Amino acid sequence: MFIIFMDQREFYIMEASQVCEDLHTSMTGLDIDERKKRQEIYGQNILQNLHKKNQLLMFFLQFKDLMIVLLIVSSGIALVLNDVSTAIILGAIVLINACIGFFQEAKAEHELESLKKMVSTKAKVKIG
């Protein structure tokens, strides 16, 4: 979860003095009282670890798409109409789609964790 405490101004194209004025700071940084005040309001300046998704839940969430629900309903209708082969084919399509989606999402989550480990979270801070 990212906390945005300012509007979406494009600070990178503004003059440094204007940015400092807008953020109520100076080129030398925040004083200790202001730092404490902002930490009380916004919290510590740390990256929060996101909770890993439950894999069973991640699998079942593959079935929430409207097209998948329609395929499941169609499979059910085919069973009611005694068209077992169509029901099996539709069920297999739904299951294969869910497996592919699950494995892609799990792989993406693993890659994201790898990227997080590569990112440096250290910074030098000048306290004035």
Asked whether the whole model's pTM tops 0.95, one would answer no
pLDDT tens-digit profile, the chain (128 residues) = 444 554 567 888 888 888 888 888 888 888 888 888 988 988 887 766 666 778 899 999 999 999 999 999 999 999 999 999 999 999 999 999 999 999 999 999 888 888 878 876 666 666 65
The C-alpha atoms of residue 32 and residue 40 are separated, in whole angstroms, by 12
Q: Quick one: tokens of 28?
A: 């030398």
Domain-by-domain residue ranges, the chain? Answer: 11-42, 55-118
* Degrees to nearest 5, angle at CA 24 with 21 and 26: 70
The C-alpha atoms of residue 101 and residue 59 are separated, in whole angstroms, by 8
